[in-house]
């Protein structure tokens, strides 16, 4: 157990890169350049390892939960239990913003209540394998799991409120008239599941690696050079506006902005609030502009506005909460 823990904490890698920087590059770790280079190499290797493993594992599990099955399961639920179920299914059902429209239509057609559909749509992008892996790499297990749990809570609460508001007439009419065909759920063998998981690893890493490297690069510079007191003053846990600004900034960014997490890691070490960083992450994934444009095809602007407002407020609250309890987490 100690061995596995040690392996997961990446102390071995930390030491290894330290040896590389000090003995091969001949730069002392106490210099700014040395600590920046160390941050860059160490973070890159750690995140790539964790990304690969996590995406593979989660994708493998997800191959058992095609949306058709999720739809059938959810159409049997109602009430708060249904919202919780929908959020949990949001974690295990494979999701990308390009399939949010067919999933929405499929759910509505199967009679899944609107509130449950939104619980699913809110949690699904927040709790994604890449975010989980990068959080794990940057902040460790406790925070990564807490992120998942809060992602579920945000989805449940958002879905319950949207359900209570009775906004069914804010869905485009054609959605209710749509004829959805029946198609069988494909039976996959193990080789096909492994293939599916590997393809996902390739696809996600291929999509975000460049943002990640830029993020780690900027993080490395901050790590070596940024003046901690200044940052703590403007974006620290004591500045009430920081979380709010982080969420607003996160909305126009797409999930590729996950690459910015290493920036957050470096910033937090310099005194920026952890809740601020978490809120930023949730906002980039749950409230992306491209997804809203896609959803506009099936829901009217008013419901989109409710969706953004409710989810946004929930995320801001999460940010404050995490800032308030930060000292218990790290």
Partner 1 sequence: MVIKVLGSGCSNCKKLEKNTKEAVKELGLDAKVEKVEDIKDIMGFGVMKTPALVVDEKVVLKGRVAKTDEIVTILKNS
Residue 200, SS3?
helix
Q: HSE (CB half, 13 Å, CA atoms) of 49? A: 14
Query: Residue 140 pairs with which residues in a beta bridge?
Result: none
Instruction: Please give the Cα distance from 67 to 8 (Å, whole number).
Output: 32
# residues near partner 1 by CB under 8 A: 29
Which of 19, 28, 72, 102 touches partner 1 by CB under 8 A?
102
Residues 115-154 that bind partner 1 (CB under 8 A): none
In residues, how long is the chain?
330
Phi, psi at residue 165, to the nearest 5°? Answer: -75, -10
Q: Which is nearer to partner 1, 23 or 179 (CB)?
A: 179
The Cβ of residue 19 has, within 10 Å, a number of other Cβ atoms equal to 10
Burial code of 87-97, b = ≥16 C-beta within 10 A, e = fewer? bbbbbbbbbeb
Residue 289 interacting with partner 1 (CB under 8 A): no
Which of 20, 52, 56, 66 touches partner 1 by CB under 8 A?
66
Residue 103 interacting with partner 1 (CB under 8 A): yes
Look-up of token digits 């126009």 = 252
Query: Residue 171 pairs with which residues in a beta bridge?
Result: 299
DSSP conformation class of 168: G
Which one of the spans 117-125, 174-182, 209-217, 249-257 is the region binding partner 1 (CB under 8 A)?
Answer: 174-182
CB of 147 to partner 1, least distance (A): 25
Which of 17, 41, 58, 67 touches partner 1 by CB under 8 A?
67
Residues 225-284 that bind partner 1 (CB under 8 A): none
Binding mask 179-198 for partner 1 (x = CB under 8 A): xxxxxx-x-----x--xx--
Residue 173 interacting with partner 1 (CB under 8 A): no
User: Given the rule CB under 8 A, which residues bind partner 1?
Assistant: 66-68, 71, 94, 96, 98-99, 101-103, 105-106, 109, 174, 178-184, 186, 192, 195-196, 199, 203, 297
């Amino acid at each position: 157990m100690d061995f596995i823990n040690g392996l997961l904490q990446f102390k071995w890698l930390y030491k290894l890169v330290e040896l590389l920087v000090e003995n091969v590059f001949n730069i002392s770790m106490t210099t700014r350049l040395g600590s920046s280079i160390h941050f860059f190499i160490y973070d890159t290797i750690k995140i790539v390892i964790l990304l690969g493993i996590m995406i593979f594992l989660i994708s493998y599990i997800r191959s058992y939960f095609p949306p058709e099955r999720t739809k059938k399961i959810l159409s049997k639920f109602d009430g708060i239990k249904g919202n919780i179920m929908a959020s949990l299914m949001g974690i295990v059902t494979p999701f990308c913003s390009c399939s949010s429209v067919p999933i929405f239509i499929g759910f509505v057609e199967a009679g899944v209540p609107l509130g449950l559909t939104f619980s699913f749509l809110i949690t699904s992008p927040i709790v994604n394998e890449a975010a989980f892996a990068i959080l794990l790499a940057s902040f460790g297990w406790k925070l990564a799991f807490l992120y998942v749990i809060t992602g579920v809570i945000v989805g449940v609460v958002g879905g319950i409120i949207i359900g209570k508001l009775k906004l069914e007439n804010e869905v485009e009419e054609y959605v209710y008239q749509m004829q959805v065909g029946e198609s069988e759920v494909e039976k996959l063998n193990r080789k096909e599941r492994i293939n599916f998981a590997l393809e996902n690893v390739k696809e996600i890493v291929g999509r975000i690696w460049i943002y990640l490297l830029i993020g780690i690069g900027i993080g490395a510079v901050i790590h070596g050079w940024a003046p901690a007191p200044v940052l703590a003053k403007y974006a620290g846990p004591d500045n009430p506006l920081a979380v709010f600004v982080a969420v607003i900034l996160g909305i126009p960014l797409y999930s590729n902005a996950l690459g910015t997490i290493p920036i957050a890691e470096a910033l937090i070490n310099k005194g920026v609030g952890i809740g601020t960083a978490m809120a930023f992450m949730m906002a980039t994934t749950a409230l992306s502009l491209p997804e809203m444009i896609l959803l506009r095809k099936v829901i009217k602007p008013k419901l989109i506005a409710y969706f953004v407002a409710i989810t946004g407020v929930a995320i801001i609250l999460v940010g404050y909460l995490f800032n308030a309890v930060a000292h218990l987490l790290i």
